[in-house]
């Protein structure tokens, strides 16, 4: 069993025994991994405050033991790799972050390294933490549309007046209304195209959406993911997000 230094993004926490946690972390070096972390929930001074590091979305600097033959790894040391200003404290920003984390839980299945995906998630979370309200409101749609690039079923952005329908089953803009029910027409197809064109989160404030349009687009993305990822199901954080936004 060898020691490695890696950054990691916390995805899920489960209490284990009296004082321990089982933490699912998306790591830079190994992809998704589960770790047994002892003593962090202890009422003693030693354990006090340590459990705060393991909150969904937290970006940590880790020294870990790694054994490919084991499902449960161990952490030797951990500390903050990035200190958030808003994600852990602001209700609206936290709701967006929890949506992003749930989407990752449902899409990342295999424990293989993908540094580009790690850097994308890390960058997105840091941008979200620093974003103004108009950007935060559109961030879930931006993240959901960009994340598909890493899973091989991205929507090809060829929207124009001759291709006004977004076929969610095919992941493409098409000329005629599809015969199945999984599609978006105007103005939603054009809005989806706008999100696909966004290069930097700051551009999100230019996309004006009311609550109804945002809800329809969010539901469409949930459908899109469910059509392309087995056992995707429905997202619990979506209802919360639609309330707070």
For residues 32-59, average pLDDT: 83
Residue 145 and residue 165: Cα distance in Å, rounded? 16
Its pTM surpasses 0.85: yes
Position 47 scores a pLDDT of 55
Q: In order of start, what are the domains of the chain with their CATH numbers?
A: 1-83 (2.40.50.140), 85-245 (1.20.1440.120)
According to DSSP, the residues that pair with 32 across neighbouring strands are 26
More confident residue, 225 or 109: 225
For residues 43-67, average pLDDT: 84
| Closest CA relative to residue 105, chosen from 226, 234, 12, 33 | 12
Position 46 scores a pLDDT of 56
CA atoms within 13 A on the CB side of 150: 22
- DSSP calls for 163-174: B-EEETTTTEEE
On whether the CB atoms of residues 6 and 28 are closer than 8 A, the answer is yes
Position 152 scores a pLDDT of 86
Residue 184 and residue 214: Cα distance in Å, rounded? 13
Contacts of 135 (CB under 8 A, 6+ apart): 127, 201, 202, 204, 205
| Closest CA relative to residue 151, chosen from 93, 188, 109, 97 | 109
Residue 11 — very low, low, confident or very high, per pLDDT cuts 50/70/90?
very high
Q: What digits encode the pLDDT tens for the residues 169-214? A: 999 999 999 999 999 999 999 999 999 999 999 999 999 999 999 9
| Closest CA relative to residue 228, chosen from 106, 138, 105, 97 | 106
Position 42 scores a pLDDT of 66
Q: What digits encode the pLDDT tens for the residues 158-171? A: 999 999 999 999 99
Query: Is the pLDDT assigned to residue 238 strictly greater than 60?
Result: yes
| Cis-peptide into 187, omega within 30 deg | yes
């Amino acid at each position: 069993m060898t020691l490695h230094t890696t950054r990691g993004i916390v995805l899920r926490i489960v209490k284990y025994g009296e004082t321990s946690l089982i933490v699912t972390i998306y790591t830079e070096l190994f992809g998704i991994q589960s770790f047994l972390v002892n003593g962090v929930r202890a009422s003693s001074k030693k354990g006090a405050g340590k459990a705060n590091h393991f909150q969904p979305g937290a970006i940590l600097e880790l020294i870990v033991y790694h054994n490919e033959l084991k499902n449960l790894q161990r952490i030797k040391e951990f500390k903050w790799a990035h200190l958030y200003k808003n994600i852990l404290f602001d209700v609206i920003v936290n709701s967006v972050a929890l949506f992003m984390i749930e989407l990752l839980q449902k899409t990342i299945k295999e424990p293989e390294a993908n540094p580009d995906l790690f850097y994308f998630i890390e960058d997105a979370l840091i941008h979200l933490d620093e974003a103004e309200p108009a950007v935060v409101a559109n961030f879930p749609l931006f993240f959901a549309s960009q994340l598909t690039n890493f899973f091989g079923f991205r929507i090809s952005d060829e929207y124009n007046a001759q291709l006004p329908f977004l076929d969610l089953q095919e992941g493409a803009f098409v000329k005629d209304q599809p015969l199945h029910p999984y599609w978006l027409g105007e103005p939603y197809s054009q809005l989806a195209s706008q999100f696909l064109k966004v290069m930097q989160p700051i551009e999100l404030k230019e996309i004006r959406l009311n609550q109804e349009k945002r809800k329809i687009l969010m539901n469409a993305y949930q459908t899109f993911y469910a059509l392309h990822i087995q056992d995707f199901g429905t997202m619990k954080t979506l209802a919360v997000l639609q309330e707070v936004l």
